[in-house]
């Protein structure tokens, strides 16, 4: 049973504790029979189920409520819980929020009405199209162009490693509109998946199966009304979205790590070596102590960043970067220890810890690789003087 004592920390209110209980109960009864062999079908099914349960309401603002906002602590609690139960369920939930984050923060009323009611109920799947073949971490130098043509823009270029690519109904796309060089010449667009000229050029296979694709925009014409925010604000919009959702990546890593610790404790208590329980071995105890320490330290960083954002901080780039860097890197270490303690069973295909070992690796790359998080942290520290 995963440790839930952290819910008593002062970062949370009673409504957060109730949310954690609700999601835990739902996950325990709804995620035990997910067929992962067909990833596309599984993700569609998970989005539908998450929508029916009301959990996707947290992924975007309510278009009918002017006071509605994204609540990062709730997003983190849901992601941590889902990740502990099923990594694909966490993925399906997270992409609904990331894919529509720009609309929640910067969209017009018409754009919000057109899409958010559908994504918040699981009736449409969203995606966030930022990375390109030559500009993953180096977002400011993306090449996909959006050229103004009367009341339209014409999109030309490629995006790659796009989560939900191939199954999404709508993409938040970032393209170069040329108002200035670098970051100041990028704009954001909302592009329906059935727009002529948008081609799913390649489906991408990775070690933990998720729906991913390379997209080609071949003279793809979109109305100027699909522009999110003002021309040239795309980089700012993308960074604002990541400022909200980067902490939730750390929360997912935390969920993976908690599951790895649970599996390890069960293994150590239930297996005998050299005539005694494995849990009596001091080396095993040392590994478990390290795992527990890393998990609590990560949780403190995750929920500090989320609490700060929810309590009015305009930007939490430094705190979110710390949370993502520490939680994802140390979750990798926690899971590696779990595999080691499980021995041969730890690398058996289909075992829980083997699945966690494959799932965790991507979190150290997407939404800003670990090295990028170090740069963000260092720049904030250097700017103090």
Write out pLDDT tens, residues 367-377: 888 999 999 99
Mean pLDDT of the chain: 95
Contacts of 71 (CB under 8 A, 6+ apart): 58, 310
User: Rounded distance, CA 213 to CA 132, Å?
Assistant: 11
- Please name the residue ranges forming H helices in 31-172: 39-53, 72-85, 87-106, 109-119
- Residues catalogued as catalytic: 367
User: CA–CA distance from 138 to each of 132, 143, 235, 350 (Å)?
Assistant: 9, 11, 11, 36
Is the model's pLDDT at 34 over the cut of 80?
A: no
Supply the DSSP symbol for 279: G
Is the model's pLDDT at 2 over the cut of 80?
A: no
Average pLDDT over residues 292-319: 95
In the Cβ-directed half-sphere of 193, how many Cα atoms lie within 13 Å?
17
Dump pLDDT digits (tens) for 171-222: 999 999 999 999 899 999 999 999 999 999 999 999 998 999 999 999 999 9
Average pLDDT over residues 48-54: 97
Q: How confident is the model at residue 1 (pLDDT cuts 50, 70, 90)?
A: low
Ranges assigned E (strand) in the chain: 126-129, 145-149, 152-163, 170-176, 186-192, 198-203, 212-223, 227-228, 272-273, 276-277
Dump pLDDT digits (tens) for 64-91: 998 899 999 999 999 999 999 999 999 9
At residue 204, φ and ψ (nearest 5 deg) are -110, 130
> What pLDDT, on a 0 to 100 scale, did the predictor assign at position 211?
95
Q: Distance between terminal CA atoms of the chain?
A: 46
> What pLDDT, on a 0 to 100 scale, did the predictor assign at position 3?
83
User: Rounded distance, CA 252 to CA 306, Å?
Assistant: 13
Portion of the chain with pLDDT greater than 90, in percent: 88
User: CA–CA distance from 6 to each of 13, 300, 302, 349 (Å)?
Assistant: 12, 9, 12, 32
């Amino acid at each position: 049973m995963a440790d839930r004592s952290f819910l008593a920390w002062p970062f949370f209110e009673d409504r957060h504790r109730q949310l954690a209980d609700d999601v835990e109960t739902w996950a325990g009864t709804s995620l035990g029979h997910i067929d992962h062999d067909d990833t596309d079908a599984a993700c569609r099914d998970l989005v539908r189920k998450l929508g029916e349960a009301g959990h996707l309401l947290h992924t975007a603002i309510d278009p009918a409520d002017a006071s509605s906002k994204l609540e990062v602590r709730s997003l983190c609690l849901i992601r941590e819980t889902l990740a502990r139960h099923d990594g694909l369920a966490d993925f399906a939930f997270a992409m609904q929020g990331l894919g529509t984050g720009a609309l929640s923060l910067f969209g017009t009323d018409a754009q919000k009405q057109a899409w958010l009611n559908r994504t918040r109920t699981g009736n449409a799947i969203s995606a966030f199209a930022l990375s390109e073949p030559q500009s993953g971490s180096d977002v400011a130098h993306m090449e996909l162009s959006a050229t103004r043509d009367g009341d339209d823009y014409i999109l030309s270029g490629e995006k790659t490693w796009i989560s939900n690519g191939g199954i999404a109904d709508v993409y938040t796309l970032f393209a170069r509109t040329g108002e200035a060089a670098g970051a100041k010449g990028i704009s954001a667009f909302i592009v329906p998946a059935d727009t002529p000229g948008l081609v799913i050029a390649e489906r991408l296979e990775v070690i933990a199966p998720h729906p991913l694709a390379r997209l080609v925009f071949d003279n793809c014409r979109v109305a100027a009304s699909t522009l999110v925010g003002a021309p040239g604000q795309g980089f700012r919009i993308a960074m604002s979205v990541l400022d909200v959702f980067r902490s939730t990546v750390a929360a997912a890593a935390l969920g993976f790590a908690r599951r790895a610790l649970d599996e390890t404790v069960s293994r150590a208590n239930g297996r005998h070596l050299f005539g005694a329980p494995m849990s009596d071995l001091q080396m095993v105890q040392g590994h478990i102590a390290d795992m527990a320490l890393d998990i609590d330290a990560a949780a403190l960083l995750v929920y500090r960043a989320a609490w700060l954002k929810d309590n009015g901080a305009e930007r939490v780039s430094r705190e979110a970067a710390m949370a993502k860097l520490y939680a994802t890197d140390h979750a990798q270490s926690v899971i590696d220890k779990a595999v080691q303690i499980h021995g041969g069973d730890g690398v058996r295909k289909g075992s829980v810890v083997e699945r966690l070992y494959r799932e965790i690796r991507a979190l150290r790359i997407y939404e800003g690789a670990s090295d990028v998080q170090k740069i963000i942290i260092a720049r904030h520290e250097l700017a103090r003087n």
